[in-house]
Amino acid sequence: MTHHTCDIAIIGGALAGAATAWHLARLGYDGDIAVFERDPGFAQAATALSASGIRQQFSLAENIALSRRTLEFLNKASDHFEFETDVGFHENGYLLLASEAGRETLAANHAVQKQCGADVVLLDPVGLQERFSWLNTDGVAAGSLGLAGEGWFDAMALLSAFRRALKANCRVSLVTGEVAEIENTAGRVTGIRLANDSRWACDTAVIAAGPSSGALARASGLDLPVEPRKRTVFFFHARERYAEMPLTVDPSGLYVRPEGDGYITGMSPHPDEDGPADPQDFEPDWPLFEDSIWPLLATRIPAFEALKLQSAWAGHYEYNPFDRNALIGPVAESGGLYVISGFSGHGVQQAPSAAEALAERILFGQFRTTDCTAFSPDRIAAGRRFAERNII
C-alpha cells in the first residue's frame, strides 16, 4: 500500500470541489491540498451535464444569497484569475409561470426575493402577452420575471478556470483516483483510502462528490442524505428563433430556454415517479419527451408544435431527499470532515459561493461572505427541514 500525506483532502474535483480548493488557496491557506477526481474528463459529473442556469427566484433568502454571491463572481470572472476567462453568461432572465393554484406561492416568493434585492417583477397574463408574443397564457394566472442577474452560463468554462489556477499552485495536487473510504478513528478523520488501495493521511476532508456523496459517506460509516436522481435534457430545433427568450418554466414544471441554434428543455418527474437512480444509468428518458414534454411545450409556445428533436442527455442531480437543499459545513459525527453537496438541481449557481463560505468555515471557524448556517448537515439528525419550494 502506498502512503501519502496532505493536510486537506477534497473528494470530487468538479465545481464544488475545485472551487473549495481554489478559495482555500485564495484565502491564504498554506497547507497541502489534494483534490481527488475519479473521472477527470467529467463525462458523468453533474457540472458537465447541467443546464447551467442561475436565478434569484428561490423561496428562501439563504438560497437567493448564495446565487447572488455567485452572480457577483461571474460578473467579474476575469478579475479572479491570472488569465482571460469567459464564463459565457447569458443574462436572459428566468420567467416562472404560475396557475391560479400557484399564484399565492409565486407572490409570497416574490416578496422574499424583493426583500433580498432581486430585480424581479410580477406580471399578469396581459403583461405577459405584451412582453412575450410567443407565449400562450391559457391557464396562467401570473408570471414572475427576473430582469437582471438571471440566465445561464458555461459551467465547464468556470470549472476549467478553477482547475487551471489549481494546476499552477504548487501546494495543490490534482489526483486522479477514486476514493473508496474516508477513514475515521475515534470520531476524527485520519485519512482517505483510494480504490487502488493507496492511502493519504490527512486530518481534514471535504465531501464534494456530487451525486455520489451519499454513497461515499455510507462507505465511510456515515449517513448523508444525498442520492443520484436522473434528469434528462432534450435539445431541439424549431423554425422560430426567440433568442431573447428567458428560461421559461411552465406551471407543470417544464422548462425551456435557447441554446446555441436551438433550445433545451426538460422537466422533473412527478414526485411519485421520482426515486434514486442507478449511479451507472445515464440513458435519456426518451418517452418523457413524446409523452409529456412536447405536448406541454406545444401548448405553452404554439410555435413549438413543429420542432425537431436533435439529441438528449441525462445527468444526475445530487439530490437531498430530506429537504431538497444543500448541505454545507462540518459533519458532527466526524471531526475534520466537511460536506458541500446536496444542491438538488441548483448547484452550478451555488457551488462557487458555497465553496467560498465553506473555505472560510474551514480556515476561520466561521462563515464570512455568505452565512451558510442554515445549510448545516446538523439539521438532518435534528429533524429540522430547511425546505426550498422552487425546485426545477
Ligand X SMILES: Cc1cc2nc3c(=O)[nH]c(=O)nc-3n(C[C@H](O)[C@H](O)[C@H](O)COP(=O)(O)OP(=O)(O)OC[C@H]3O[C@@H](n4cnc5c(N)ncnc54)[C@H](O)[C@@H]3O)c2cc1C
**Angle separating helix axes 15-26 and 347-364, nearest 10 degrees:** 40
CA-closest candidate to residue 156, choices 66, 282, 51, 256: 51
Three-state DSSP at 386 gives coil
353 near ligand X, judged by CB under 6 A: no
Using CB under 6 A, which of the segments 92-100, 209-217, 282-290, 357-365 binds ligand X? 209-217
Given the rule CB under 6 A, which of 27-35, 303-311, 337-345, 357-365 is the region that contacts ligand X? 337-345
Phi and psi for 100 in degrees, rounded to 5? -55, -40
Interface residue with ligand X among 172, 189, 205, 208 (CB under 6 A) is 208
Site string for ligand X, 287-316 (x = CB under 6 A): ----------------------------xx
The interface region with ligand X, picked from 44-52, 198-206, 234-242, 302-310 by CB under 6 A, is 44-52
Helix (H) or strand (E) holding 218: helix 213-219
Orientation of helix 155-167 relative to helix 15-26, angle to 10°: 50
Which member of 12, 246, 284, 377 binds ligand X (CB under 6 A)? 12
Phi, psi of 165 (to 5 degrees): -65, -40
Tell me how far, at minimum, the Cβ of 81 lies from ligand X, in Å.
18
Which is nearest to 224 in space by CA: 335, 324, 316, 341?
A: 341
Contact present, 26 and 172 (Cβ < 8 Å): no
Query: Contacting ligand X (CB under 6 A), which of 231, 300, 361, 379?
Result: 231
What minimum distance in Å lies between the beta carbon of 209 and ligand X?
A: 4
Q: Select 306 or 389, whichever has its Cβ closest to ligand X.
A: 389
Smallest distance from ligand X to CB 296, Å: 18
* Long-range contacts formed by 311-314: CB under 8 A, 24+ apart: 311/234, 311/235, 312/232, 312/233, 312/234, 312/235, 312/284, 312/286, 313/49, 313/232, 313/233, 313/282, 313/284, 314/49, 314/230, 314/231, 314/232, 314/233, 314/281, 314/282, 314/283, 314/284, 314/285
The least CB distance from residue 27 to ligand X, in Å, is 19
**Hunting for cell 494546476 — which residue is that?**
167
* Interface with ligand X, residue 66, by CB under 6 A: no
For residues 63 and 109, which CB has a smaller minimum distance to ligand X in the complex? Answer: 63
For the bound state, the minimum distance from the C-beta of residue 165 to ligand X, rounded and expressed in Å, comes to 16
| Residue placing its CB nearer to ligand X in the complex, 139 or 253 | 253
Among 8, 10, 21, 50, binds ligand X (CB under 6 A): 50
Given the rule CB under 6 A, which of 58-66, 128-136, 142-150, 204-212 is the region that contacts ligand X? 204-212
Binding-site member from 20, 22, 23, 53 for ligand X (CB under 6 A): 53
333 forms part of the interface with ligand X (CB under 6 A): no
Q: Output the residue with the shortest Cβ distance to ligand X.
A: 347
- Contacts of residue 229, defined as CB under 8 A and 6 or more positions apart, other chains included, come to 211, 274, 275, 276, 277, 316, 317, 319
> Toward ligand X, which CB reaches closer, 64 or 209?
209
> Which one among 42, 132, 153, 200 touches ligand X, defined by CB under 6 A?
42
Query: In the complex with ligand X, which residue's Cβ is closer, 317 or 338?
Result: 317
User: Burial letters for 338-364: b for 16+ Cβ neighbours within 10 Å, e otherwise?
Assistant: bbbbbbbbbbbbbbbbbbbbbbbbbbe
According to DSSP, the β-strands at 199-201 and 3-5 are parallel
The residue from 96, 216, 339, 358 that contacts ligand X (CB under 6 A) is: 216
Name which position in 23, 90, 346, 361 contacts ligand X (CB under 6 A): 346
96 in contact with ligand X (CB under 6 A): no
DSSP letter, residue 293: I
Q: Does 380 bind ligand X (CB under 6 A)?
A: no
Among 8, 21, 52, 356, which residue sits at the site for ligand X (rule: CB under 6 A)? 52
Q: How far is the CB of 256 from ligand X (least distance, A)?
A: 12
Residues lying near ligand X in the complex (CB under 6 A) are found at 11-17, 36-39, 42, 45-47, 49-53, 178-179, 208-212, 216, 231, 233, 315-318, 341, 343, 345-349, 351
